[in-house]
A and B are shown apart, each in its own frame.
Chain A
Amino acid sequence: MLTEQEKIKHLYYRAAFGCSIHKMPYSVSLQANIDALLAPQQFQSLHIISQSEVDAVKAAAKSKGKEAKVEVKKMLKENIVELNEMWLNEMIHTSAQLQEKLALFWHGHFACRTPNPYFNQQYLDIIRKNALGNFKTLLIEISKTPAMLQFLNNQQNKKDHPNENFAREVMELFTLGRGNYTEQDIKEAARAFTGYGFDALGEFKFRKAQHDFGNKTCFGKTGNFDGDDILEIIMQKPECAYFITKKLYQFFVHDESVDENLVQDLAQKFYQSNYNIKQLMSLILKADWFYDVKNVGNKIKSPTELIANTFRLIPTTFDKPNSILFMQRTLGQVLLNPPNVAGWKGGKSWIDSSSLLFRMRLPQIIFYDEELDFSPKAYQPEMGDIKMKMMDEYVKKLASKKLSAKVDWSKTFVYFSNKKDSWNEIVTAVLPCKIDGAIAKIVTQNADISTKENEIKSKLIHAMSLPEFQLC
Chain B
Amino acid sequence: MKRRAFIQTSALASAAMLLPKFLKGHEQNADIKSNKILVVIQLTGGNDGLNTVVPYENSLYYNARPTIAIPKNQVHKLNDELGLHPDMKGIKNLFDNGQVCVINNVGYPEPDRSHFRSMDIWHTASNSNEYKHSGWLGRYLDDKCKSCDLPTQLLEIDDTLSLALKGEKLNGLALKDVKRLYNTTTSPFIHQLSTQYLAANHEHENATYLYKTLAETVSSADYLYKTSKIFHNATTYPNHEFGKSMKTISEFIISGINTSVYYVSLGSFDTHFNQPKRQSDLLKQLSETVEIFMKDMQQYGKLNDVLLMTFSEFGRRVQENASSGTDHGTANQLFLFGNNFKKNGIYNAAPNLSDLDDGDLKFTVDFKNVYATILKKWLQVDEQKILGKSYAYLDFIG
CB distance from B245 to the nearest CB of A (A): 13
Q: Is there a chain B Cβ closer than 8 Å to A462's Cβ?
A: yes
Flag if B116 contacts A113 (CB, 8 Å).
yes
Flag if A378 contacts B268 (CB, 8 Å).
yes
Flag if B131 contacts A298 (CB, 8 Å).
no
Interface-located stretch among A71-79, A116-124, A281-289, A355-363:
A355-363
Q: Is there a chain B Cβ closer than 8 Å to A1's Cβ?
A: no
Q: Is there a chain A Cβ closer than 8 Å to B86's Cβ?
A: no
CB nearest neighbor in A for B173: A353
Q: Is there a chain A Cβ closer than 8 Å to B16's Cβ?
A: no
Chain B residues, CB < 8 A from A341: 131
In the assembled complex, the Cα of A309 lies from the Cα of B202 at a distance in Å of: 22
Flag if A438 contacts B203 (CB, 8 Å).
no
Given A168-B129, A352-B172, A378-B268, verify A357-B203 contact (CB < 8 Å).
Answer: no
In the assembled complex, the Cα of A382 lies from the Cα of B193 at a distance in Å of: 41
Chain A residues, CB < 8 A from B200: 436, 438-439
Q: Is there a chain B Cβ closer than 8 Å to A345's Cβ?
A: yes
Flag if A349 contacts B133 (CB, 8 Å).
yes
Chain A residues, CB < 8 A from B92: none
Q: Is there a chain A Cβ closer than 8 Å to B328's Cβ?
A: yes
Flag if B220 contacts A353 (CB, 8 Å).
yes
Flag if A353 contacts B204 (CB, 8 Å).
no
Choose one: A339, A349, A354, A378; the contact of B175 (CB below 8 Å). Answer: A354
Flag if B166 contacts A349 (CB, 8 Å).
yes
Interface-located stretch among A10-18, A85-93, A202-210, A368-376:
A368-376
Flag if A298 contacts B205 (CB, 8 Å).
yes
CB distance from A206 to the nearest CB of B (A): 26
Flag if A353 contacts B327 (CB, 8 Å).
no
Choose one: A294, A342, A383; the contact of B131 (CB below 8 Å). Answer: A342
Flag if A354 contacts B205 (CB, 8 Å).
no
In the assembled complex, the Cα of A382 lies from the Cα of B210 at a distance in Å of: 35
Given A354-B175, A471-B207, verify A378-B267 contact (CB < 8 Å).
Answer: yes
Choose one: B131, B158, B180, B206; the contact of A471 (CB below 8 Å). Answer: B206
CB nearest neighbor in B for A165: B129
CB distance from A382 to the nearest CB of B (A): 6
Chain B residues, CB < 8 A from A294: 204
CB distance from B119 to the nearest CB of A (A): 7
Flag if A345 contacts B193 (CB, 8 Å).
no
Within 8 A of B (CB), among A439-472: 439, 442, 445-446, 462, 465-468, 470-471
Flag if B161 contacts A438 (CB, 8 Å).
no
Q: Is there a chain A Cβ closer than 8 Å to B213's Cβ?
A: yes
Flag if B151 contacts A442 (CB, 8 Å).
no
How many residues of chain A have a CB within 8 Å of chain B? 54
Interface-located stretch among B71-79, B183-191, B390-398:
B183-191
Given A352-B213, A439-B196, verify A357-B190 contact (CB < 8 Å).
Answer: yes
In the assembled complex, the Cα of A354 lies from the Cα of B8 at a distance in Å of: 30
Chain A residues, CB < 8 A from B81: none
In the assembled complex, the Cα of A225 lies from the Cα of B189 at a distance in Å of: 63
Interface residues on B, range: 35 or more
In the assembled complex, the Cα of A342 lies from the Cα of B173 at a distance in Å of: 25
Chain A residues, CB < 8 A from B206: 298-300, 348, 471
Interface 1/0 per residue, B45-56 and A, CB below 8 Å? 100000000000
Choose one: A165, A351, A462; the contact of B189 (CB below 8 Å). Answer: A462
Flag if B120 contacts A436 (CB, 8 Å).
no
Flag if A353 contacts B213 (CB, 8 Å).
yes
Within 8 A of B (CB), among A319-359: 330, 332, 339-342, 345, 348-349, 351-358
CB nearest neighbor in B for A257: B205
Q: Is there a chain A Cβ closer than 8 Å to B264's Cβ?
A: no
Chain A residues, CB < 8 A from B295: none
Choose one: A340, A358, A360; the contact of B117 (CB below 8 Å). Answer: A340
Chain B residues, CB < 8 A from A356: 210, 213-214, 217
Flag if B8 contacts A438 (CB, 8 Å).
yes
Flag if B202 contacts A436 (CB, 8 Å).
yes
Q: Is there a chain B Cβ closer than 8 Å to A380's Cβ?
A: yes
Q: Is there a chain B Cβ closer than 8 Å to A146's Cβ?
A: no
Choose one: B173, B213, B220; the contact of A351 (CB below 8 Å). Answer: B213
Q: Is there a chain A Cβ closer than 8 Å to B160's Cβ?
A: yes
Q: Is there a chain B Cβ closer than 8 Å to A197's Cβ?
A: no
- A-B contacts besides A294-B204, A378-B268, 19 pairs, CB < 8 Å: A349-B133, A351-B213, A352-B172, A352-B213, A353-B161, A353-B173, A354-B161, A354-B175, A356-B210, A356-B214, A376-B160, A378-B44, A381-B270, A382-B116, A436-B202, A439-B193, A442-B192, A465-B189, A468-B207
Residues of A within 8 A of B (CB): 113, 165, 168, 256, 294, 297-300, 330, 332, 339-342, 345, 348-349, 351-358, 360-361, 373-378, 380-383, 399, 433-434, 436, 438-439, 442, 445-446, 462, 465-468, 470-471
30 A-B contact pairs sorted by A residue (CB < 8 Å): A297-B204, A300-B210, A330-B160, A339-B120, A339-B163, A341-B131, A351-B209, A353-B217, A354-B161, A355-B160, A357-B190, A358-B160, A360-B190, A373-B180, A374-B159, A375-B159, A376-B159, A377-B158, A377-B162, A380-B44, A380-B116, A382-B116, A383-B113, A383-B327, A433-B207, A442-B196, A446-B189, A462-B189, A465-B189, A471-B207
